[in-house]
């Protein structure tokens, strides 16, 4: 079967670069188009990355493929849907709100942007957690008269939290969650990003809109699609969080306190996480890790520098699972999740792989 032709908008940003790295030699998708801001249009991708100092601004670990560096970049609003089979989007929310619907009229759009996450007819997909929500795209097409659709990936902070809550919700039920995040600088992107002198020797105690995103998205992701496939009923879990920015390059760390609906022991909780495989359809996708959650017994793990790349940045690592004496049936743990891989680009590609496996791309 021929590979599907994929375009990428927002190609020069940090998330866009992660998309490019993840799509290299992909078995299903071939990157055939690159789009960015008008100032990059008409340049080769390599030229578009060049900074005023002459440095090539390629910031991911994987090498930039010469054939990608030689590709011409077009302006995002000049991208023609008829030339592609699907689009990956790594643009800011305000740009996404304008560009993504234009493309979705004709072809599927898989987005790392927040613009459409909260629409009633838009699934917010983490494949192992809620693959059953994906058919909501048919309702989206029906309501909007589109041939394509928009499937956003969740906020990067929500992703690791939702992955670790899923096995607990399935086995014990979850009533309430309190979470404090220590989020990597890369989550802010490079433009405008976080100014080095602000974050050095410091913790920024507030990230605009982040806490609301986590609280709303977690309930939607853990919710249930109705029998008609037309709406998602949010989970009734109560979520409260504080989101901070710390002097770490990649990998979000989160301290999680959860109140379970039924009694359990630490051994029960760790067993639930270790044994969890999530939705069967999500386990044989090209980007799927061998395990979605990896647990540590070492009380000094997980750490972002040591553990963010676990299974190619697609696994959530967990440690320090303990009982909590304040919450009813309370437990607490620490997680690390790769914010620009599973939490952004590779997570969005995983979503596209899922919908292909479910026969929803055609």
> Contact, 343 vs 337, CB < 8 A?
yes
Rounded CA-CA distance 345/156 in Å is: 10
- Superfamily of chain region 156-337: Dihydrodipicolinate Reductase; domain 2 (3.30.360.10)
What ranges do the domains of the chain cover? 4-155+345-357, 156-337
183 bridge partner residues: 245
pLDDT value for 189: 81
CB within 8 A of 214, min separation 6: which ones?
A: 155, 157, 158, 161, 179, 181, 239, 241, 243
* 133 part of the active site: no
Rounded CA-CA distance 147/140 in Å is: 10
**Domain 4-155+345-357 = CATH 2.60.120.560:** no
Catalytic residue among 133, 235, 252, 338: 252
Catalytic residue among 133, 156, 241, 338: 156
- Of residues 170, 152, 153, 133, the one with CA closest to residue 277: 170
> Contact, 108 vs 151, CB < 8 A?
yes
pLDDT for 298-353, tens place per residue?
999 999 999 999 999 999 999 999 999 999 999 999 999 999 999 999 999 999 99
DSSP assigned state of 312: G
Check pLDDT > 70 for residue 191: no
- Of residues 226, 187, 190, 222, the one with CA closest to residue 208: 187
* 252 part of the active site: yes
pLDDT for 193-241, tens place per residue?
777 778 999 999 999 999 999 999 999 999 999 999 999 999 999 999 9
């Amino acid at each position: 079967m021929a590979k599907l032709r994929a375009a990428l908008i927002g190609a020069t940003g940090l998330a866009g670069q992660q998309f490019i790295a993840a799509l290299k030699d992909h078995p299903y998708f071939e990157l055939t188009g690159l789009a960015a801001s008008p100032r990059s249009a008409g340049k080769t991708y390599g030229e578009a990355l060049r900074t005023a100092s002459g440095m090539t601004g390629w910031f991911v670990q994987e090498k930039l493929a010469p054939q990608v560096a030689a590709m011409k970049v077009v302006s995002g609003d000049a991208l023609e849907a008829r030339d592609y089979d699907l689009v990956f989007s790594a643009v800011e929310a305000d740009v996404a709100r304008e560009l993504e619907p234009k493309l979705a009229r004709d072809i599927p759009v898989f987005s790392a942007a927040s613009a459409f996450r909260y629409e009633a007819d838009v699934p917010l997909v983490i494949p192992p957690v809620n693959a059953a929500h994906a058919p909501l795209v048919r309702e989206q097409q029906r309501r909007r008269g589109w041939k394509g659709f928009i499937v956003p990936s969740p906020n990067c902070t929500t992703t690791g939290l939702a992955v670790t809550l899923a096995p607990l919700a399935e086995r014990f039920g979850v009533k309430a969650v309190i979470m404090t995040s220590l989020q990597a600088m890369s989550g802010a992107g490079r433009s405008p990003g976080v100014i080095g002198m602000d974050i050095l020797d410091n913790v920024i105690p507030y990230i605009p809109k982040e806490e609301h995103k986590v609280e709303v998205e977690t309930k939607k992701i853990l919710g249930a699609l109705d029998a008609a496939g037309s709406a998602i009923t949010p989970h009734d879990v109560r979520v409260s969080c504080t989101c901070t920015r710390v002097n770490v390059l990649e990998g979000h760390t989160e301290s999680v306190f959860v109140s379970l609906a039924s009694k359990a022991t630490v051994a029960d909780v760790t067993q639930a996480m270790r044994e969890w495989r999530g939705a069967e359809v999500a386990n044989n996708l090209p980007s799927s890790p061998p395990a979605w959650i990896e647990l540590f017994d070492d009380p000094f793990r997980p750490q972002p520098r040591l553990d963010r790349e676990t299974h190619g940045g697609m696994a959530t690592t967990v440690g320090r699972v303990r009982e909590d004496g304040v919450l009813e049936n309370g437990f607490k743990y620490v997680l690390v999740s790769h914010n620009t891989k599973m939490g952004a680009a590779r997570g969005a590609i995983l979503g596209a792989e899922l919908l292909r496996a479910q026969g929803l791309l055609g």
